[in-house]
Amino acid sequence: MMKAHIETLDLTKELAFASRLAREAATIVNTFYVGSSEVRYKSDDEPVTEADRSANQHIVARIGAVFPEDGILSEESKDDFVRLKKSRVWIVDPLDGTKEFIARNGEFSIMIGLAVEGRAVLGVVQQPATGLLYAGAVGLGAFLYEDGERIELKVSECGELRNMIMVSSRSHRQQIVDRIRAQLNITRERVSGSVGLKVGLISRQLADLYIHPSPGCKEWDLCAPHAVLEAAGGQISDCWGNPLRYNRRDVRAHNGLVATNGVLHGLVTETVAAICEEFGYNQDDGFW
């Protein structure tokens, strides 16, 4: 499928469906958030809760019922690789920011994205604790739904690095990020959990860039916020400026990511790539 074809997609039905589904999943998550939720660990540093599993079950079942011909990739579902034969794949993180959910700080989200021919074309990011919903798609723009109001999202036009605000992780502070921030002469910073919420801040002009120079992110962390930010006029790439592709067999984002308002994206990635290489990180072959 050519890019021009993707640009002419009508995703109105899909965006309305994903928005409703994210709100339904938020209701499920909130029942555990205000009550209690058993915590288990998939690995030493990767918790999963009943909220993750319950939201995932609902989301996957609804997508399968409404769009039975589409593929699905979800963090909490076993990947059988059937999706690799599909041109349209829903990419889901039923609870991004599980550590923030466990900490009860509100900075977690539900993310539902759609990739067509490997490109993120639609995304919704729902913050259950506040009710905020970010939604965007190719050709439809991006919007924030808050207290019954729909607000159009557009990234900032800030074109001076010293005036930009960087959004950083609350749970994953890295020395390399401090080095990048200093090299870019950025003095202002916001801290947030959940990749979706960080990118949401950029789409709302509350931040201008987010840099994650590690292989920790997976496709379900990135697809929905990627689509929202691009629909709001921003830009996302890996740390070397290469486009992110979806529905791959290996779902890890080996070369990290850079999300910006798009104004100085090339300059930012040039700086980030150089520092990554200083730290011994090599493009394409992973960061480990």
Per-residue pLDDT in tens (0 to 9) along the chain, 288 residues: 445 577 778 999 999 999 999 999 999 999 988 765 566 666 655 666 788 899 999 999 999 999 999 999 999 999 999 999 999 999 999 999 878 888 888 889 999 999 999 999 999 999 999 999 999 999 999 999 999 999 999 999 999 999 999 999 876 667 899 999 999 999 999 999 889 999 999 999 999 999 999 888 999 999 999 999 999 999 999 999 999 999 999 999 999 999 999 999 999 999 999 999 999 888 875 443
Q: Are strands 188-192 and 209-212 parallel, antiparallel or unpaired?
A: unpaired
What distance in Å separates the CA atoms of residue 24 and residue 178, rounded to the nearest whole number?
38
Write down all domains in the chain, each with its CATH number in brackets.
3-152 (3.30.540.10), 161-278 (3.40.190.80)
What distance in Å separates the CA atoms of residue 254 and residue 186, rounded to the nearest whole number?
25
Quote the crossing angle between the two packed helices 195-203 and 219-231, to the nearest 10°.
Answer: 10
Of 206, 225, 215, 214, whose CA–CA distance to 166 is shortest? 206
pTM of the model: 0.92
Residues 165 and 187: beta-carbon distance below 8 Å: no
